[in-house]
Amino acid sequence: MCKKFVSIGRAAQVALAFSVAIPAVYLVSPVTTAYAQVVSSIIVEGNQRVEADTVFSYMQVQRGQSANADNIDASIKALFQTGLFADVRIFRRGNSLVVQVEENPLINRVSFEGNSDINDKKLKQEAELRERVIYTRARVQSDVQRIAALYRRSGYYGATVEPKIVRLSQNRVNLVFEINEGQETKVKSITFTGNDAFGDSSLRSVINTAESAWWKFFSTTDKYDPDRLNFDKELLRRHYLQNGYADFRVLSATAELAPDGESFFINFSVEEGPQYTVGEVTVNTGSTTLDANQVTNVIKSTRGRQYNASEVDKSVENITIEAGKAGFAFARVQPKIDRDAVNRVLNINFDIQEGPRVYVERIDIVGNTRTLDKVIRRELRLVEGDAYNRILIDRARRRLTALDFFEKIDFRERPGSAADKLVLQIAVQEKSTGTLNFSAGFSTDEKAVGTVSVSERNLLGRGQFVKLNTSLSFKRQSVDFSFTEPYFLGRRISAGVDAFVTRTDNTDDSSFTTKQFGGALRTGLRLSENSSVFLKYGFTHRETTTSSASTTAPAITDASGKDNTSLFGVSFVYDDLDSSLNPTKGFRAELDTALAGPGGNQYFGRVEGKAYYFHPIYRDDIVLRLKGTAGHIEGYNGKNPSVLDSFYKGGDSLRGFEQSGIGPRQRAADGSVDAIGAQTYVIGSLEVSFPLGLPDSFGLSGAVFTDFGTAFGTDTKGVANGGVNCPITGGAYDCRTYNTKMLRASVGAGITWTSPFGPLRIDVAYPLSKAKHDQTELIRFGIGTRF
């Protein structure tokens, strides 16, 4: 079949306008008087897919009524507005009124040509026209604009889109969008005018758009996007408002295309205004019975400090939460700011009023094409008919965000059927939750590392987690499988199963190699909004081999062979961190207890505790992190715990010391010393992270830290500073054990780079205090690469 392309351009739009306007004027005006008579019948001609009854339903004149210029004109307009017809003519044939239509064709296929940087799938998602949809010129032009906008957002500002049609039989067409992508339009330079308080370099780090550079081959922010430019104006406004410039304005944001058409010069013209400080801060509790002094304690803005709009917003949020805790769930907080321009002071009054009680009439969830409604609803703590509570909404938002299923989560309040009712709409935008990772990297502990991992956080849209992971390095090889159902049997109880096989080579540290396999069953119960308890039963079979007797510590030789561990554990977790991925505020505590016994040949009890505290020193840029960990293991039933189950500390847990670099050690026959693990450890860390003053696009941040702690205790033969003759074939040797409670400490600094190849961290640490046989380490780093 011969294809005939028809181009749709500006002329077609003009022709369409005439096709709508001309028929009404041309056909009606000459016969205005003639039509002023009763219509005996209405005849529809030219329709193929559209039923005659459908045409009748849009006619503004019916059989038995008088036809005139007004109702004929209204009928033509109504029929055109349906989008079903390319042309409509109405004329008289005797006493009958004839409606002659030309139907718009049906789209058989939509395709794209000339596109390479944006694939067909993304273009189809952007276009509204689909197969088996009625073709109209207006819809085509709308899709042309949408596709062009998509290219602009992707940095192709010079892209052009030309729609063409291939006419087929039975009034069908193939729609083809011919695309000329052109060159990527980069941002060559970004300048500012009117800025005195902050330099151009400082303001460039605030906005999202960035200047193009050769090394930004993974970045998209150096491409010109008008929508991003508008967002940059808002970012500038927030930045100045956070630094006391309450009168700040962006006068203009212009983008000038370079003569070569391949780059833009962007300029922001700003008016900073004066910098204000905070004056009087007062609270008006209104009709509520709130304690004004208690409310004042949660206000971030304080007298004499530089004005910060974000602190005012945070204060409003804190006051609303405090009011909700006191029983005023519908309290409204309005900050009223009195500007003293002469003294450059802003007086702030927080006005609290008790709002009317409102009930949730209905909860609508939109945007979840894959995730089941129940997965979202179960994270809410309110249902239809409950009183609307902003605290519960805020908590639900945090829980939904923690799921990591959605790109965006928006809670919208819509009017209900009555004044005291509302419809709560939860609009979500889903993101990919399945991953297939191929990674490689290098770490101080395991040297070269390769990993293949398949995981799905939202299995079949049910919120279940499943993962299969394989890891290969010079020191450790493993395969593990994990499955978790977060709401077992529809209740707030998690259940999961694990299975693993590992091989670990510890010959460098302790002269032994282990092979083990096993599995575990676990369950968890949420006790409150921030606390949970977990139960676990696991079974592990382990085979341990050692190097020659002369190079291996006796304690490790005694532990070699095969053993089985049957372990029951209970864990408690408290967590109120503001983010699980990048926390800047909050506290997290973990207490893990385990008891190994019947079902295996290992008998011990173990307890470990961990605590983390984060506090923003300056906004969310400079963050203090405190970390404390401690643990103890003890044998029972007449058995000592195996040295293989003891604690091996150092490396990431105590920087400045090698992995297994601190703790008890034992001498082998050849004089070498092996780590044999500690029964008790206590380690603390203090770290301050901060930006390096570089643009955010660099992904660089710094940290200074100090680590301190100790690891001690062993049930093996031998005492510190004393020797014991350990018999071997043909003689005896000194198997002295070194065990001290001495406090170790180190200081250091580190740099983290969130690179396109994965996170890279380099730490330089110097030990201030160490024992004689500790193993130290100056530089520690690791990197992961994804292909």
Worst-scoring range by mean pLDDT, 70-74, 255-259, 762-766? 255-259
pLDDT number for residue 509: 63
CA dist 460 → 371, 380, 402, 463 (Å): 8, 21, 19, 8
Beta bridge partners of 572: 533, 591
pLDDT exceeding 90 applies to what percent of the chain? 34
Average confidence (pLDDT) over 113-122: 88
pLDDT exceeding 70 applies to what percent of the chain? 87
Secondary structure of 699-730 as H, E, C letters: CEEEEEEEEEEEEECCCCCCECCECCEEEECC
Q: Is the pLDDT of residue 84 over 90?
A: no
Q: Is the pLDDT of residue 526 over 90?
A: no
**Which stretch, 12-26, 70-84, 215-229, 757-771, has highest mean pLDDT?**
70-84
Residue 110 vs residue 583, higher pLDDT: 110
Residue 421 vs residue 446, higher pLDDT: 421
To the nearest 5 percent, what fractions of the chain are helix, strand and coil? 20, 45, 35
pLDDT number for residue 449: 54
Q: Is the pLDDT of residue 154 over 80?
A: no
Q: How far apart are CA 219 and CA 205, in angstroms?
A: 15
CA dist 224 → 127, 255, 694 (Å): 22, 9, 21
Average confidence (pLDDT) over 401-415: 86
**Which stretch, 176-185, 234-243, 281-290, has highest mean pLDDT?**
234-243
Q: How far apart are CA 47 and CA 377, in angstroms?
A: 48
**Which stretch, 355-364, 371-380, 468-477, has highest mean pLDDT?**
371-380
Q: How far apart are CA 20 and CA 151, in angstroms?
A: 32
Strands, E assignment, 258-311: 263-271, 277-284
pLDDT number for residue 783: 54
CA-closest candidate to residue 156, choices 118, 195, 107: 118
Average confidence (pLDDT) over 560-567: 91
Q: Would you place residue 66 in the very low, low, confident or very high pLDDT band (cuts 50, 70, 90)? A: confident
Beta bridge partners of 409: 428
- Cβ(282)–Cβ(349) below 8 Å: yes
Q: Is the pLDDT of residue 729 over 50?
A: no
Q: Would you place residue 437 in the very low, low, confident or very high pLDDT band (cuts 50, 70, 90)? A: low
Q: Is the pLDDT of residue 10 over 60?
A: no
- Cβ(393)–Cβ(482) below 8 Å: no
pLDDT number for residue 430: 87
Q: What tens digit of pLDDT does each residue of 161-210 get?
A: 999 989 898 889 999 999 998 877 788 899 999 999 888 888 988 888 88
Q: How far apart are CA 332 and CA 355, in angstroms?
A: 6
pLDDT number for residue 730: 40
Residue 138 vs residue 589, higher pLDDT: 589
Q: What tens digit of pLDDT does each residue of 460-495 get?
A: 888 999 998 887 766 778 899 999 999 888 888 999
pLDDT number for residue 19: 37
Worst-scoring range by mean pLDDT, 159-173, 490-504, 587-601, 722-736? 722-736
Average confidence (pLDDT) over 259-281: 89
Residue 390 vs residue 144, higher pLDDT: 144
Q: How far apart are CA 201 and CA 693, in angstroms?
A: 10
Q: Is the pLDDT of residue 27 over 60?
A: no
Strands, E assignment, 275-420: 277-284, 331-340, 345-354, 359-366, 406-415
Q: Is the pLDDT of residue 622 over 80?
A: yes
Tokens 């995981």, residue located? 455
Q: What tens digit of pLDDT does each residue of 309-354 get?
A: 988 988 888 888 888 777 676 788 889 999 988 899 999 999 988 8
Average confidence (pLDDT) over 487-509: 86
pTM value surpassing 0.75: no
- State how beta strands 561-575 and 406-415 pair: unpaired
**Residue type (1 letter), 134:** I
Q: Would you place residue 8 in the very low, low, confident or very high pLDDT band (cuts 50, 70, 90)? A: very low
- Cβ(135)–Cβ(165) below 8 Å: yes
Residue 758 vs residue 52, higher pLDDT: 52
- Cβ(571)–Cβ(598) below 8 Å: no
CA-CA-CA-CA torsion sign (34, 39, 41, 44): positive
CA-closest candidate to residue 344, choices 461, 462, 244, 444: 244
pLDDT number for residue 269: 95
Average confidence (pLDDT) over 771-777: 89
Beta bridge partners of 501: 479, 517
What does 310-323 look like in DSSP terms, one character per residue?
Answer: HHHHHHHHHHHHHH
pLDDT number for residue 756: 58
Q: What tens digit of pLDDT does each residue of 124-138 get?
A: 888 888 888 888 888
